[in-house]
Amino acid sequence: MAGAIEPEFRGARRRLVEALQDKGIKDLALLRAIDTVPRHLFVPPTVRHRAYEDSALPIGNGQTISQPYVHARAVEQLMLTGKERVLEIGTGSAYQTALLSELAAQVFSVERYRELLDRARGVLQQAGVRNVSLSLGDGSLGWREYAPYDGIVVSAGAPDVPAALEEQLAEGGRLLIPVGDKDEQMLTLFIKRGGRLERRDITPVRFVPLIGAQGWPS
């Protein structure tokens, strides 16, 4: 990843990596990505001093950047090898987008707020990310043009798996989505086998709601 890494953040980022290892994150490629991606670029200047804390932070439009452990636990479930085509629903701060860009061949990310999308485009360019395509739209409908996807990760809570995302997931692909009500969800991994989704519950989480035609009504 291009872009200068400010020396004052190097120690903080390394401590974050060590903290995530202590919490059970084992994927070495993912840990290297976390050690490489400059998270401080993806948070508002007012909270930049907290960029490498293992905590969620506000990013505007009522949205948040998830705590690094939640990002790491989620991305680790996709078991990426560097060859995959990945769809992300909810670009948000684009920090997770940048992590995915280090671990997959191509990343396609959909965001419903133009302000967040414009900011994400700028910071990804600043960070030197090249293999990401961004779209403004209803994430619950996915991004049919580039389907099927080897991995889909949804950064918002849904009442159930949107049919569009199930359809756009490749055979053998992995779909990670928080499923539940608006207040609390279960981070859930679905693997597509024989055209059907096999479910595996990961951990309780709290995400903003997935607003859209196949999510929650606005």
pLDDT tens string 67-125 = 999 999 999 999 999 999 999 999 999 999 999 999 999 999 999 999 999 999 999 99
With beta carbons less than 8 A apart as the criterion, state whether 139 and 112 touch. Answer: yes
Distance, CA of 97 to CA of 102 (rounded, Å): 9
The predicted model gives 140-149 an average pLDDT of 98
Which domains can be identified in the chain, with CATH numbers? Answer: 7-205 (3.40.50.150)
Partners of 133 in beta bridges: 108
Q: Which residue type sits at 118? A: D
Distance, CA of 161 to CA of 208 (rounded, Å): 15
CA angle, 40 then 83 then 151, to 5°? 70
3-state helix, strand and coil shares in percent for the chain, rounded to the nearest 5: 35, 30, 35
Q: Give the active site residue among 66, 101, 140, 155.
A: 66
The per-residue pLDDT for 5 is 53
66 among known catalytic residues: yes
* Nearest alpha carbon to residue 58 among 71, 36, 42: 42
| Residue bearing tokens 């756009």 | 168
pTM across the whole model: 0.93
The per-residue pLDDT for 1 is 62
